[in-house]
Structure 1
Amino acid sequence: MSDDTEEAANVSGLPAKMRDDEIEGVRRVRAALVLAQLDYRREIAALSQRGYDVADIARAVGVPGYKFAETVRVAQETAPIPEGFSGATVREICQRYFLGQITQEQVIHELTTWDYAIPEPRELGEFEEYEELPPSPPNSLNDVVQACQDGVLDGTTYETIIRAVMKRRQA
């Protein structure tokens, strides 16, 4: 591997000898697992909200009832998908795009119209020169940045989204 390739691998956060194409399959499976879990929870929550008994739902899906009550509780706490979007979070929308569940046009539309959380303003001088900044709030524009860094959002789509959001904020 050339020095240029090793440097590029380090920029993406991967170990020097690991390339994006080598980890792509793992990224896809991980995203699929996360989305499957969210979809499963939302389906369970929907059945529960329709009034079905926990034991009946457990029997229908083939899960022991004694384990299923906690599953239903967690499912009911899972954020619903807002109208007009394909995910409840910025990350979920990016993962659905990454797996081909939504188009590039759709991810761009959703993430340029998303109501991003804005970090709380900090007073000048609150941080020491090299102090680590506090984490961004969930569903902030930083989640789009992170999705690109994690390889679930391609650079072209990322740039289109960022430009459109910045343009919208300036309007």
Structure 2
Amino acid sequence: MASCARRDLRDAVHRLVDVGMTESDISRVLGVKRLAVWKLLVRAPQIVPDGFADATAYGICERYSAGYIDGDELARQLSRWEFAPMQWAGSLVEDVGPVEGTFSSEMGQALRDGLIDGELYELVLNAQQP
């Protein structure tokens, strides 16, 4: 939940700068030091695709776990999510390791971190099958 709020705050601070607010103005409004605002600004905002709750599948799972979206909405969003293709190492014994953005890296990590359960994992996996 804290990571969702942190991303939302970072993205909001970027939007405030985009509309002309200075770091000093933002720090005064938020009641934080200017350095805290600067730290938020050095990280690029994430682009959240239209119709999705977050910029990554893992982030959508975080929002589900935090109670921002329900299981039906999670399933709807992730059944339409375009995961990165799996990488083939050329050998069944050679492992390329986790590749960022693939189903197994994003959803596997969400499952391991307890953000989703096995039932939701299987539901999304089945929705991804052609």
TM over 0.5: yes
Q: How does 1:1-171 map to 2 (within 5 A)?
A: 32-74=1-43, 77-124=44-91, 127=94, 133-142=95-104, 143-166=106-129, 168=130
SS in 1 for 2:97: coil
1:78-134 superposed Cα distances (whole Å, 9 cap, x missing partner): 31211110011111100111122111111111111101011333223783xxxxx23
Structure 1 stretches of 4+ with a deviation exceeding 3 A read none
How far did 1:66 drift? 4.2
How far did 1:145 drift? 2.1
Superposition CA RMSD, Å: 1.8
**AA aligned opposite 1:78:** P
Distance of 1:157 and 1:115 partners within structure 2: 17
- Give the number of aligned pairs: 129
Distance of 2:52 and 2:36 partners within structure 1: 32
Distance of 1:78 and 1:69 partners within structure 2: 13
**AA aligned opposite 1:104:** G
In structure 1, the gaps of 5 or more residues are 1-31, 128-132
Contact 1:119 1:136 (8 Å CA) reproduced: no
**AA aligned opposite 2:58:** R
Share of identical aligned residues, percent?
A: 26
Higher gyration radius (CA): 1
Choose between structure 1 and 2: higher helix proportion.
1
Give the TM-score normalised by structure 2: 0.88
Distance of 1:154 and 1:64 partners within structure 2: 39
Give the TM-score normalised by structure 1: 0.68
In structure 2, the gaps of 5 or more residues are none
**AA aligned opposite 2:128:** V
